[in-house]
């Protein structure tokens, strides 16, 4: 395949950054998007140029490390798929492809396509945990959980924290990520002791990090490679109202 | 956003029902307009209830705008560097994208509408005419552009409700997978009813069905 890539190049956090065009030839349609970037980088290195920096780790679609806004859509054109699991056969021969980093104040660019997502870690630190001592895995039947709750909690727990929701949101909000955590832990008996503190302090951390407010546009759930549903944001709002207006938070 | 929006939706429905009295004739319509002012009499002086309602609506509009402006400002601050490539929208529909500019147009329309039929500043008839006469003169066929302006504004109100009503339930944490389809239906249905109900009056006057 012949491709024209327009990639965001930025030397460091202080650099202004710009789109740079690269022509690629002879790319296998069976290559993954990241493998295609590997090919480009090998060429750049042999030519003595700086390779394009991008995040990746497992390349199996489960770690949440890869990112990239491809042609205006986080993780590219294929639904429910991370960039690492996206293949070049989803593109047309001769296509011009724009590749950009996640854009958000809370995700500052480190270099090229790499952004700093530690604002998500700070949100987890502010409430995305349970304080019960866990030890070794307990007997599965010792804490019964209704099947429907278990299923919904699992659906929310599928979030890999990649940040595509923020990248897609016209408001730059992380409500889907936040909702996934609040829903996941709030449906489990183990998550109850911190339930009302969790939602308030995680939302405070979210706002302090500089994420925007949710206006229910629904872009996040479409971009989410794990298909986290918008219901988690409704749950987030409900728990927040119960905690604050409802006076559940001590 | 959700709470003030709900108050305004309630007002729109009541306002629309009142407007439709025009199809029952001039005396019914003018009687209704007079009743708005005498509501609560003789327990309270004339215009007491109406004034309270006007204050509630005014405050709701201001708070609704304040929420919208703070959300828009936060959104702008949250993405200081814009996407260079064409940012694609992959979700939902047209209505969601009209919320911000639509809201501004609706505000301009409300100002015009108040100058027109509350303060009579831009109405062809003055304060000595009856409400019915003012409406009929307003949407006269020769003033077709006024009708077009009203219809466009009401269409934007409809789009605003199409997203807004569903969104309000989501904001208040009342939406779930179980009631999602019902809420979509409610938002779409109410938006359609309110749009048609409001458009009916100016159109009917312009086409001479009400005169």
- pLDDT of B93 reads 77
Which domains does chain A show, CATH number per domain?
3-110 (3.10.20.30), 117-131+144-244 (1.10.1060.10)
Give the max Cα distance, chain A.
63
Question: Which CATH number belongs to the domain containing residue B162 in this structure?
Answer: 1.20.1300.10
- pLDDT of B16 reads 98
Would B192 be classed as within a structural domain?
Answer: yes
Would B182 be classed as within a structural domain?
Answer: yes
The ipTM assigned to this model is 0.92
Q: How many domains does chain B fold into?
A: 1
Would B158 be classed as within a structural domain?
Answer: yes
Question: For A24-43, what is each residue's pLDDT tens digit?
Answer: 999 999 999 999 999 999 99
In chain B, which ranges are continuous DSSP H helix?
2-20, 26-38, 48-78, 94-117, 131-138, 144-171, 180-206
Q: A45 vs chain B: nearest CA distance in angstroms?
A: 26
Would B90 be classed as within a structural domain?
Answer: no
Q: How far apart are CA A162 and CA B91, in angstroms?
A: 19
Among A residues 80-99, those touching chain B with beta carbons less than 8 Å apart: 98
Does the pLDDT of residue A96 top 90, yes or no? Answer: yes
Among B residues 73-92, those touching chain A with beta carbons less than 8 Å apart: 74-75, 77-92
Would B89 be classed as within a structural domain?
Answer: no
Domain extent for B33: 2-77+95-206
Would B82 be classed as within a structural domain?
Answer: no
Would B151 be classed as within a structural domain?
Answer: yes
Mean pLDDT of chain A: 96
Question: For B6-34, what is each residue's pLDDT tens digit?
Answer: 999 999 999 999 999 999 999 999 999 99
| b/e sequence B57-88, b meaning 16+ C-beta within 10 Å | beebbeebeebbeebbebbeebbebebbbebb
Give the residue from B5, B91, B94, B187 with the most A CB atoms within 10 Å of its CB, the best one to mutate.
B91
Would B83 be classed as within a structural domain?
Answer: no
Which residues contact residue B192 at a Cβ distance below 8 angstroms, ignoring those fewer than 6 apart?
A: B158
Question: For B52-70, what is each residue's pLDDT tens digit?
Answer: 999 999 999 999 999 999 9
DSSP state of B129: S
Does the pLDDT of residue B172 top 80, yes or no? Answer: yes
Question: For A185-202, what is each residue's pLDDT tens digit?
Answer: 999 999 999 999 999 999
Give mean pLDDT, residues B200-210.
96
């Amino acid at each position: 395949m012949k491709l024209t890539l327009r990639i965001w190049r930025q030397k460091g956090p202080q650099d202004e950054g710009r789109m740079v065009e690269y022509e690629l030839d002879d790319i296998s349609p069976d290559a993954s998007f990241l493998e295609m970037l590997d090919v480009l980088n090998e060429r750049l290195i042999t030519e003595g140029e700086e390779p394009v920096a991008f995040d990746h780790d497992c390349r199996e679609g489960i770690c949440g490390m890869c990112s990239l806004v491809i042609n205006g859509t986080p993780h590219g054109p294929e639904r429910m798929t991370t960039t690492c699991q996206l293949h070049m056969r989803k593109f047309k021969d001769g296509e011009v492809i724009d590749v950009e980093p996640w854009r958000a104040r809370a995700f500052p660019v480190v270099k090229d396509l790499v952004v700093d997502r530690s604002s998500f870690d700070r949100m987890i630190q502010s409430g995305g945990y349970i304080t019960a001592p866990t030890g070794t895995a307990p007997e599965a039947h010792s804490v019964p959980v209704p099947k429907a709750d278990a299923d919904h909690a699992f659906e929310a727990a599928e979030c890999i924290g990649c940040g595509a929701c923020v990248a897609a949101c016209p408001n730059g909000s992380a409500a889907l990520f936040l909702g996934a955590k609040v829903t996941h832990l709030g449906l489990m008996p183990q998550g109850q002791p911190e339930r009302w503190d969790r939602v308030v302090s995680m939302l405070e951390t979210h706002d302090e990090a500089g994420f925007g407010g949710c206006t229910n546009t629904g872009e996040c759930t479409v971009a989410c490679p794990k298909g986290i549903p918008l219901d988690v944001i409704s749950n987030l709002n409900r728990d927040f109202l119960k905690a604050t207006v409802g006076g559940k938070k001590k | 956003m959700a709470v003030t929006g709900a108050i305004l939706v309630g007002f729109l429905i009541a306002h629309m029902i009142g407007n439709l009295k025009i199809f029952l004739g001039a005396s019914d319509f003018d009687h209704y307009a007079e009743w708005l002012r005498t509501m609560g009499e003789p327990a309270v002086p004339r215009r007491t209830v109406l004034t309270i309602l006007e204050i509630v609506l005014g405050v709701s509009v201001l708070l609704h705008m304040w929420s919208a402006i703070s959300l828009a400002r936060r959104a702008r601050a949250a993405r200081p560097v814009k996407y260079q490539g064409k940012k694609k929208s992959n979700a939902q529909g047209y209505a969601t994208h009209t919320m911000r500019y639509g809201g501004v147009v609706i505000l301009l329309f409300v100002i015009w509408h108040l100058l027109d039929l509350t303060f009579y500043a831009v109405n062809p008839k003055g304060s000595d005419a009856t409400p019915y006469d003012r409406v009929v003169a307003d949407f006269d066929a020769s003033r077709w552009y006024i009708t077009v302006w009203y219809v466009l504004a009401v269409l934007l109100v409809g789009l605003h409700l199409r997203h807004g009503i569903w969104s309000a339930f989501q904001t208040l944490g009342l939406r779930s997978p179980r009631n999602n389809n019902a809420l979509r239906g409610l938002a779409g249905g109410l938006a359609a009813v309110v749009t048609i109900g409001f458009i009916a009056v100016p159109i009917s006057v312009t086409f001479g069905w009400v005169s």
